[in-house]
Amino acid sequence: MLWKCTVCGMTVEGTDAPEKCPKCGAPKEKFIKLSQEEQDKIYTSERTNDIHMEMIHLCDKIVSLCKEGIDLKLDPPCVDVFTKAKDEAYIIKQRSKAEIAGHIGKGKW
């Protein structure tokens, strides 16, 4: 079962709430047991949350590579491709961040 800290929002798995929150240190009394529906939302969304986080990480790598390519200034068409890819990666990253925020707002985190 899942328990949620009412101070910081961290969820913890276990048969009972922890003695203190692993994130903020709040005492056991600050935890609430999540309903089965709330737990199901979190468990079924776990993989898509992980995918979005990985996409964000990959976009950061793309942006870094594109900046390196832009700095090399090999030729204008090459720089243009890197610039466009950098901008597109930023959009993809922001899209995934917005989706994660939506998941959090809907209790899917």
Helix, strand, or coil (residue 107):
coil
pLDDT at 19: 98
**Annotated domain spans of the chain:** 1-34, 47-109
pLDDT the model gives residue 102: 95
Q: Indicate the CATH number for domain 1-34.
A: 2.20.28.10
Mean pLDDT, residues 48-70: 98
pLDDT band at residue 109 under the 50/70/90 scheme: confident
CA dihedral 15, 21, 23, 26 (to 10 degrees): 160
63-89 mean pLDDT = 98
Minimal CA–CA distance to 48: which of 106, 91, 2?
106
